[in-house]
Amino acid sequence: MTRPLRSNTAGTNGSNAAGFLTGNPSRCENPPAGGSTLEEVLAAMETLRRENQEVRRRAEEAERLYQRNHTETSNNPTLQEILATVETLRRENEEARQRAEEAERLRQHHIETLNNDPAIREIKITVEALRRENEEARRRVEESERLRQEDHERMRHLNEDHQRRAEAAQAALQAQIAELRRGNTEGGGPEPSRGGVEPPRAFQPFSEAIEREVVPPYLAIPRITPFDGTQDPDEHLMIYRAHMLINGGSDAVFCKLFVGTLTGTALKWFSQLVDRSVTGYDVLSRLFVAQFAANKRKSMTIADLLDVRQYREESLKEYLDRFNQVAIKVANPDEQMFVIAFSKGLRSGPFSESLVQRTAENMTEVRARAACHIEAEESETWKREAEKRENTHTLTTTNS
């Protein structure tokens, strides 16, 4: 941009003033007409000063505009700069694409390396085995739930059948009583209570206090195998108590719901109890056990426990579970004898040597110490099965 030229007014006026001040009018380029006084000279000087200030102000304004235009022009990118920026961005994009391709190549290489790693293959085999085991466990749970639903439905039908039979029996008894009373009244005979044919007695084995007790609607007859008179009465009572401890209920509720677990001979026995003879659950359980005492299973003894031996292919966990199943049936448990019997039946091995080196005080200590050995056995079994699966998989891959 072209810089504006300064005005020559100041120079012309200045030379005029200088000519007047030196008393040499010949120096004045434009001498004033006629003579000049001091006041006129001062006035001319003041005018020149103001004109000089105005010229200087316009020069500064022109300089400022020039600088601003120059700055705006320098801030606008040129075509070359735009093209250079585009080229830079293109190179950066190309580098980013190359880096992405390199990362993908490394990832694929890493995946191939992992797939070829025997440890990774073993982990995959283990994961697949665990998946199948989980699937099998889920199937068993579903099957168990289905069986539970079927048992629940069967118990509901049994309860309804018992209820219908009880109501039918009650109605039949009431009809017989009414028939006998009508016959005695029409024939002029004595009242049943004074002689003649006795009507069937009312079905009232419970005391009046138990009869008045109302079973809460949220409680139902426990879903257990009905007792028909051929099972062990102690075992039936134990199962019934376990269910009732979960559900809760008063002593009278225990008595009433217990009747719902009887069937066949056992239900007939209950219907023949003496009126008002059952005053509590303890009385009912004693009568029940006394009636079916012949069905009690033979109690285990220490001699039976000494006959328990660990089989050749039986794990420590399986042997311990089987031993416990027998031990809980022993009539008079003796912890020291239990430890001796367990050690005697245990096959030679690390745990047997451990019990010889440091004798256990009771079966609780035996179970606690056996836990570590059981875990080691299961870990070793798992490793052998994994190796067997891997060998089978390798053989199959080789053959294919």
Q: What is the pLDDT of residues 84-139, one digit of tens each?
A: 888 888 899 899 889 989 988 888 887 777 777 777 767 777 787 788 887 888 88
Rounded to a whole number of angstroms, the distance between the first and last alpha carbons of the chain is 87
Whole-number Å distance between alpha carbons of 294 and 265: 14
Q: Number of helices (H) and strands (E), helices first, in the chain?
A: 14, 0
The span from the CA of 153 to the CA of 145, in Å, is 12
> How far, in Å, CA of 95 to CA of 100, rounded?
9
Q: At residue 307, what is the residue type?
A: D
In which residue ranges of the chain is pLDDT below 70?
1-36, 69-77, 121, 151, 155, 158-159, 162, 166, 169-170, 173, 176-177, 180-181, 183-203, 400
Among 344, 348, 362, 363, residue whose Cα is nearest residue 304: 344
Whole-angstrom distance, CA of residue 224 vs CA of residue 148: 11
Q: Would you tell me the crossing angle of helices 335-345 and 350-357 to the nearest 10 degrees? A: 140
- From residue 388, alpha-carbon distances to 121, 126, 383, 394 in Å are 13, 12, 9, 10
Tell the residue number behind the tokens 């039946």, with chain if given. Answer: 345
- pTM of the predicted structure, to 2 decimals: 0.38
Query: What DSSP state is assigned to residue 219?
Result: -
